[in-house]
Amino acid sequence: MGGHAPGEDLDRLAASARAAMVREIELSGAWADDPVWRAAFEAVPRHLFVPYYYVAGPGGYERRWGEHPDPAARERWVRGAYADTPLATRLRDGELLSSSSQPSLMATMLTALRVRDGDRVLEIGAGTGYNAALLAHRLGDDGLVTTVDLDPEITESARRHLDAAGYHPAVVTGDGARGVPERAPYDRVIATCALPRVPRPWLAQCRPGGRILTPFATGLLALTVRDADHAEGRFLPTPAYFVPLRGAEQSRPETPGLGGVPRRAREDDLFRFLLALTRGSLDPQEAYALWERERAPGRERYGVTVGDGGTWAWLDDPAGPYVWPLPS
């Protein structure tokens, strides 16, 4: 009787699981505006970028890895690698340092980046290298994709994963808030980590008309760059929660007390987003009054303007009545 080597069985299982993940992403509508991304997710083997990861359980984190001696454990690893969920990839003293984002959210972000052939892209937060591989598959290995991370262990492992998968974007160790000026200018900047403000170097390193997509205040902010000092744009409707960027100065105001705010508002995701976005420019009672008056506005009604005089958040219209200063 014939048989299959264990590696061949895992390869077939990975291909089947990857196809199922692609179908699930397609059903979410993530790339309806740019189906070219489907080919990237079909081609790039996510399991090569997560040779091990951690799954939260009642007793703490369970480590899954591809070299486990138990075939059933290896199967759980490869199936989990293609689940449409974020995967914790680095922990230190119980703190999550790095992760591989949820694939459908990655697809949403990559589609919203509006990449065109020949664009130069800077990714902030190398992570496992999977997102950079998707970009490299879309744009080619012609030096168009740069990814940066502060932690040399993360960038070194990202390089190994990318090499194993056959992709070769530029992987740089450095502070993502400062960009990578030596490889600028860029047409697109995408961040896969949360920041308390929009770093000015990103604007300076973007061509006029370039697009910046970054997690901000539990949302995804898409900015169009006018010049080195000016950018403006709105949030996508999608909520997003990312590991914070490390390295840049990260002062964060304390979450204000919510005494006097009704429970239905305190527990509402859009009200919490409003508080996170305005960060002290509105007290909770003012935020609640606005949230109630405007009938719980969705993230897509908010925007941010970066100018030479500062940074502002706004609702509906940057010249309208609802405008708040943000830390620059």
Q: Which residues are catalytic?
A: 98
- For the chain, count helices (H), then strands (E): 10, 14
Contact 139, 145 (CB under 8 A): yes
Q: What region does 209 belong to: left with phi over 0, alpha with psi -120 to 50, or beta? A: left
How many Cα atoms sit within 13 Å of 25 on the Cβ side?
31
SS (H, E, C) 27-73: HHCCCCCCCHHHHHHHHCCHHHHCCEEEEEECCEEEEEECCCCCHHH
**Cα 260 to chain centroid, rounded:** 34
The answer to whether the peptide bond before residue 185 is cis (omega within 30 degrees of 0) is: yes
